[in-house]
Chains A and B, each alone.
Chain A
Amino acid sequence: MDWLKLFRAPPTKQTASIAKDRLKVVVAHQREGRANGPVYLPKLREELLLVVRKYVQVPDSAVNVQVQREDGLEVLEMNITLPDAT
């Protein structure tokens, strides 16, 4: 009964939400590699690491510094992961 298909609307996929999800991934990736933060960021990170190491021994990866943009505001976010207390 192929002619019945004439009366049925073809199924529509909600492709916009797929597009949004894909873009979020692509854009997040793009922003990682972007020299987006201020030029002093790597140096700031290094010096922070030195200061922290005066008191606690942490690996290189323990200090994480990044600049994020939210609603036109720039937020400098610093994360220092301390080793488990032994």
Chain B
Amino acid sequence: MAKIVVVTSGKGGVGKTTTSASFATGLAMRGHRTAVIDFDVGLRNLDLIMGCERRVVFDFVNVLNGEATLRQALIKDKQLDNLYILAASQTRDKDALTAEGVERVLGELGKEFDYVVCDSPAGIEKGAHLAMYFADEALVVTNPEVSSVRDSDRVLGLLSSKTRKAEAGEGRVKEHLVLTRYNPVRVDKGEMLSVDDVKDILAIPLLGVIPESQAVLTSSNAGAPVITAKETDAAAAYDDLVSRFLGEDRPHRFLTAEKKGLFGRLFGT
């Protein structure tokens, strides 16, 4: 049976899809058979971030409605043989998502994959609810910013009550904090919540800190998950995150500002 991991946040624009794409790719790079599903029905974007938008023929809703088989709808990654993407539909038919349907698809995927990553939509409506409902573990993506932290706390409340595990009394969904768009320079100036501040408030274990990075935009421009942008800070941070998720002990990096020398201060970077 595959492990089901939801990537969620409550707030939009904090990096759920970026994280889903890189996390799934990182798992696949380590040899795990991985599927990543876009639950944002009506506003699909995972396909763009993964660079497979031109190969979407059938989507998640087609599979739920029985209009296509899972095999027809799964899109193989450009680079990795063991990574597949299931796109969301672009129609606004949100009623297509039902608990029974999602359970069936996840059950089928579970037979063939080691990990199923569910990219949740923003908000706490049906799509977000079903993305987390069957999860074993959750990556809670948070920006060091008040509205994002508050929304993450809301989502933690839902994870502890509105999931199959919680309802069946089978323990809790394992929560991981992923802090994205972190800027150590602004933290040093006292302008941004620090990683310890956010950990204090949300009180869940920290899985990774992704620095604010130019590589995130340039990678999405090119349609490649940022974890594949070798030698960039964001890729290294996501790589560490995946290793930690798999149980490796890796120290956190990119938490402190690099000291600029005189040259750097004079000419910027």
Contact = CB atoms under 8 A, between A and B. Distances in A.
Interface of A: 12-17, 19-20, 22-24, 26-27, 30-31, 34-36, 69-72
B190 A27 contact: no
B200 to A, nearest CB: 8
A14 B197 CA distance: 14
Contacts, number: 55
A72 B205 contact: yes
Interface residues of B, number: 23
Contact of A16 (B197, B201, B202): B197
Instruction: Report whether over half of chain A's contact residues are helix, strand or loop; otherwise say mixed.
Output: helix
A46 to B, nearest CB: 21
B201 A20 contact: yes
B190 A70 contact: no
A70 B193 contact: no
A41 B154 CA distance: 20
Given A20-B197, A20-B201, A72-B204, A35 B161 contact: yes
Contact of B192 (A16, A35, A69): A16
Nearest to B187: A16
A-B interface, 3 closest residue pairs, ranked by CB to CB distance from nearest: A14-B190, A34-B157, A20-B197
A16 B194 contact: yes
A36 B204 contact: no
Given A20-B200, A35-B157, A70-B203, 9 more contacts: A15-B191, A16-B192, A19-B145, A20-B201, A23-B150, A26-B150, A30-B157, A31-B157, A72-B205
A34 B200 CA distance: 19
Contacts of B187: 16
Contact of A19 (B160, B193, B203, B205): B193
B161 A31 contact: no
A71 to B, nearest CB: 7
B149 interface: yes
A19 B186 CA distance: 14
B267 to A, nearest CB: 19
A17 B202 CA distance: 16
Interface string B135-163: 00000000001100110011001001100
Contacts of A22: 146
A36 B156 CA distance: 10
A19 B144 CA distance: 10
Nearest to B162: A35
B194 A71 contact: no
Contacts of B145: 19
A6 to B, nearest CB: 17
Nearest to B161: A35
A30 B190 contact: no
B193 A27 contact: no
Contacts of B189: 12
A12 B145 CA distance: 17
Contacts of A26: 150
Contacts of B201: 20, 23-24, 27
Contacts of A35: 157, 161
